[in-house]
Structure 1
């Protein structure tokens, strides 16, 4: 297994050699194109590597902070999205969030699964008939009950729904069973505060709060869903850096194990909760 530092040195050496030989240094797009064969092997059959690389390069092009990020960290996030078959971009399947790593003095990239991504991953199990989540507002008619005969009823207000109150998720299994979870706003905010993405202005929490609130509830319910061990482990790496990405240097077929970041702050300098 090559180390993250080894990969950085390989990339730096390659770039220096190219400059010394009068060649134009490789861009992030060049590295993604070079990594395309490994991405093609990782992608689910229903997705094409051409579409994945196009979506990734579009996100990078429209987010200036990603262009300044550590190459291995960014490529790790790209490979993580390929391994899970989740498209980065406006659909909200997954996000690449830049963070300042104060210990290393670099900008690293955190991979974040979105609400629609969580729904997509759950449906792939083949054991779930339907899964959905909804936001609850203070003027909605909402009640839920736990115990031997648990129940949940929600009738959204038609006009002014008031302030956000919480969110719930429901999964119906093909064998006739079901699972639901409700989480009040106070609990959602606690989990947001512990998230690396919680307070960053580049975070989906800032742009799609309701979607992230619903994702938070589904992730909490995840351990009760009939999904594979591999999928359970994949979701555990949510809000971490990519793992086991194929080395982007052409002469080395090793895989790179990129550890999760520790002690990071958002790229915009805002403080993150623990």
Structure 2
């Protein structure tokens, strides 16, 4: 049986990716992030790096958007990059089977 996809032909993982991008670009969310980081420049860099990290990881795309942002803000507060190439920290998806959702968590990488 073929997989059912929405009318716009976005796969379920791609749909979550679009939902995350819409969530993080929401005016209220951006305002909250900007107030937390204290700078529009930091906010733009943060948002673009998180969108990039989510788009590279299909499992992360399944996570609830607020947990992704929360985990990433922890890394940002430590002045670390979420870039997998640098390995400062990772956004790791965990499935909560009882709740039937996935949440992103902060995982410190190896800092040299």
Question: Which TM-score band (shorter chain)?
Answer: 0.5 to 0.7
Structure with greater strand share of residues: 1
What secondary structure, in the 3-state scheme, does the structure 2 residue paired with 1:66 have? helix
Rg (Cα) greater in structure:
1
Q: Following TM superposition, by how much is the alpha carbon of 1:44 offset from its aligned partner in structure 2, in angstroms?
A: 7.2
Structure with greater helix share of residues: 2
Over 3 Å counting, the alpha-carbon distance change for 1:114 and 1:67 in structure 2 is same
Over 3 Å counting, the alpha-carbon distance change for 1:110 and 1:81 in structure 2 is same
Instruction: Name 1:33's counterpart in structure 2.
Output: 25
Q: Give runs of aligned pairs for residues 98-137 of structure 1, distance below 5 A.
A: 98-116=93-111
Partners in 2 of 1:61 and 1:78 — Cα distance?
14
Aligned residues between the structures: 91
Instruction: Name 1:70's counterpart in structure 2.
Output: 64
1:69 and 1:106 in contact (8 A); partners too: yes
Q: Which of 78, 81, 93 pairs up with 1:84?
A: 78
Taking structure 2 as the reference length, the TM-score comes to 0.66
Partners in 2 of 1:97 and 1:52 — Cα distance?
17
Q: Following TM superposition, by how much is the alpha carbon of 1:63 offset from its aligned partner in structure 2, in angstroms?
A: 0.2
Taking structure 1 as the reference length, the TM-score comes to 0.30
Q: Following TM superposition, by how much is the alpha carbon of 1:58 offset from its aligned partner in structure 2, in angstroms?
A: 0.5
Q: CA RMSD in A?
A: 2.3
